[in-house]
């Protein structure tokens, strides 16, 4: 069976060097392009007018809470669902209603979806057999793929004779062996325990760098997304809220939802005064690193680890903002202590590293919370 039946198919996959990093063009091309894509199920807007360009060779993560439309987006790229509105192109080819078996992508399913009646090597060989590759070629590539995921020696096992981590690797090998232009992964580490998951995160990232295939990775775990991704797209309720490199997403969120979802933060309502200063709802004036138009109702996000505590009469560096408050809560976390500091009508969460010589505070003590001017980030009020 010919995989590329469309005349617009520009590259024959069999010409691609086996699982080797390709030379990237100077101007990175767009691997997957979603243009105003929506998907409605009966009365649910699962995906709501999403515009997104995923670059060739990047590790792109779709991040968001459960039910926000990540899986649906991925399934539309794979061809397992079709958009209600909008267009999806893969390397410039518009996919339209092209079925999954005619698309240059492969998927690692959340449940792995390994064929239970086939051995590990038959599972991995499946895609190549469907494309009618030469027997010897199939054997060689299956061997390579299993070696890549360190499953050599397990060829004759059945999926139910493997551990969760091994099943996950088989699913990965079964997809990668086809050398797709884009690999789609739907929470592939979700079923693994924490230790294994963390190890696999690094391995997956490493693998992606080696094979140079574009990864579109779906996860609801923000730490996982930050660890692995070149860029992250944050979704909520079907909408794509922000796209950027991990630092951007974490340090300059553009909406309260992104600020809250990625890491822990203090979100404080505020208004912009005529002189450009920011006034918190409690009346406190603070500085922030972005200016907004006067009169605007905004939110200020302050990361707990960017806040510092000193005694009520203590000193802090010039240029820092400060608020007076009382220690209302203290939680010991081992490597850190988090405080709840009651300041006016808000409680600020502050994270203080548990290091030798680091001063800690008792509940009820009067203190000042201070932070550098650029630690506060303005976001539009959602």
Ligand X SMILES: Nc1ncnc2c1ncn2[C@@H]1O[C@H](COP(=O)(O)OP(=O)(O)O)[C@@H](O)[C@H]1O
What three-state secondary structure class fits 121?
Answer: helix
List residues binding another protein (CB under 8 A). 1, 3, 78-80, 99-101, 105-107, 109, 111, 113-117, 126-127, 130-131, 158, 160, 174-175, 178
Site size for Mg ion (CB under 5 A)? 1
Pairwise CA distance, residues 134 & 101, whole Å? 19
Binding track over 67-106 against ligand X, x by CB under 6 A: xxxxxx----------------------------------
Is there a contact between 210 and 203 (Cβ–Cβ < 8 Å)? no
Query: Closer CB to Mg ion, residue 220 or residue 303?
Result: 220
Shortest distance (Å) from residue 174 CB to ligand X? 21
For residue 198, what is the DSSP state? H
Query: Closer CB to ligand X, residue 71 or residue 106?
Result: 71
Query: Closer CB to ligand X, residue 41 or residue 332?
Result: 41
Query: Closer CB to another protein, residue 17 or residue 99?
Result: 99
How many other β-carbons are positioned within 10 Å of the β-carbon of residue 314?
A: 13
Binding span for Mg ion by CB under 5 A among 16-24, 64-72, 92-100, 296-304: 64-72
Binding to ligand X (CB under 6 A): which residues in 132-171? none
Shortest distance (Å) from residue 85 CB to another protein? 22
What three-state secondary structure class fits 145?
Answer: helix
What three-state secondary structure class fits 109?
Answer: coil
Pairwise CA distance, residues 278 & 298, whole Å? 9
Query: Closer CB to another protein, residue 175 or residue 286?
Result: 175
Query: Closer CB to another protein, residue 62 or residue 175?
Result: 175
The item of ligand X, another protein, Mg ion, none sharing an interface with residue 126, based on CB under 5 to 8 Å by kind, is another protein
Shortest distance (Å) from residue 136 CB to ligand X? 40
Pairwise CA distance, residues 122 & 156, whole Å? 9
Tokens of 229: 């991704």
The residue with its CB nearest to Mg ion is: 71
The yes or no reply on residue 71 touching Mg ion (CB under 5 A) is: yes
Pairwise CA distance, residues 139 & 135, whole Å? 6
Binding span for Mg ion by CB under 5 A among 68-76, 146-154, 199-207, 238-246: 68-76
Pairwise CA distance, residues 123 & 151, whole Å? 13
Angle, vertex CA 302, rays to CA 297 and CA 307, nearest 5: 145
Shortest distance (Å) from residue 69 CB to ligand X? 4
Is there a contact between 214 and 181 (Cβ–Cβ < 8 Å)? yes
Query: Closer CB to ligand X, residue 183 or residue 218?
Result: 218
State the pairing for strand pair 85-90/93-94.
antiparallel
Shortest distance (Å) from residue 330 CB to Mg ion? 37
What three-state secondary structure class fits 48?
Answer: strand
Helices within the chain (DSSP H only): 70-78, 120-130, 135-148, 164-176, 194-211, 222-228, 246-251, 256-261
User: DSSP letters along 280-344, please?
Assistant: ETTS-EE--SS---TT-EEEEEE-GGG-EEEETT----TT-EEEEEEEEEEEE-SSEEEEEEEET
Query: Closer CB to another protein, residue 6 or residue 326?
Result: 6
Query: Closer CB to ligand X, residue 225 or residue 323?
Result: 225
Shortest distance (Å) from residue 46 CB to ligand X? 3
The item of Mg ion, another protein, ligand X, none sharing an interface with residue 67, based on CB under 5 to 8 Å by kind, is ligand X
Binding to ligand X (CB under 6 A): which residues in 14-73? 41, 44, 46, 64, 66-72
The item of Mg ion, another protein, ligand X, none sharing an interface with residue 49, based on CB under 5 to 8 Å by kind, is none
Is there a contact between 341 and 367 (Cβ–Cβ < 8 Å)? yes
Task: Please count the CA atoms within 13 angstroms of the CA of 262 that sit on its side-chain side.
Answer: 31
Shortest distance (Å) from residue 3 CB to another protein? 6
The item of Mg ion, ligand X, another protein, none sharing an interface with residue 41, based on CB under 5 to 8 Å by kind, is ligand X
Residues in contact with ligand X by the rule CB under 6 A: 41, 44, 46, 64, 66-72
């Amino acid at each position: 069976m010919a995989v590329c039946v469309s005349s617009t198919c520009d590259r024959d996959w069999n010409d691609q060097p086996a699982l080797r990093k390709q030379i990237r063009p100077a101007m990175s091309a767009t691997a997957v392009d979603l243009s105003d894509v929506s998907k409605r199920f009966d009365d649910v807007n699962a995906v709501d007018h999403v515009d997104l360009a995923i670059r060739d060779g990047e590790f792109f993560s779709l991040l968001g809470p459960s039910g926000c439309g990540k899986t649906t987006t991925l399934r539309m790229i794979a061809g397992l669902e079709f958009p209600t509105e909008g267009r999806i192109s893969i390397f410039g080819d518009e996919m339209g209603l092209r079925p999954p078996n005619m698309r240059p992508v492969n998927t690692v399913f959340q449940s792995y979806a390994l064929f239970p009646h086939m051995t590990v090597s038959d599972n991995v060989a499946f895609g190549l057999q469907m494309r009618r590759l030469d027997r010897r070629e199939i054997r060689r590539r299956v061997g390579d793929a299993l070696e890549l995921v360190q499953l050599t020696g397990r060829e004759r096992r059945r999926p139910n004779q493997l551990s969760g981590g091994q099943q996950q690797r088989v699913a990965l090998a079964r997809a990668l062996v086809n050398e797709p232009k884009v690999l789609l992964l739907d929470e592939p580490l979700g079923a693994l325990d924490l230790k294994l998951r963390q190890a696999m995160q690094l391995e997956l990232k490493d693998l992606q760098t080696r094979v140079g295939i574009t990864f579109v990775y779906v996860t609801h775990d923000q730490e996982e997304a930050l660890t692995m991704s070149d860029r992250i797209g944050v979704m909520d309720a079907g909408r794509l809220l922000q796209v950027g490199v991990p630092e951007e997403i974490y340090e300059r969120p553009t909406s309260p939802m992104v600020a809250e979802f990625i890491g822990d933060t203090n979100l404080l309502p505020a208004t912009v005064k005529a002189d450009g200063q920011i006034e918190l709802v409690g009346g406190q004036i603070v500085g922030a690193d972005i200016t907004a138009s006067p009169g605007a109702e905004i939110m200020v996000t302050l990361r707990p680890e960017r806040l510092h505590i000193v005694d009520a009469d203590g000193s802090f560096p010039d240029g820092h903002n400060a608020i007076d408050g009382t220690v209302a809560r203290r939680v010991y976390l081992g490597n850190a202590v988090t405080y709840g500091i009651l300041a006016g009508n808000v409680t600020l969460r502050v994270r203080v590293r548990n290091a030798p010589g680091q001063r800690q505070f008792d509940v009820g003590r009067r203190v000042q919370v201070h932070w550098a001017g650029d630690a506060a980030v303005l976001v539009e009020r959602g």
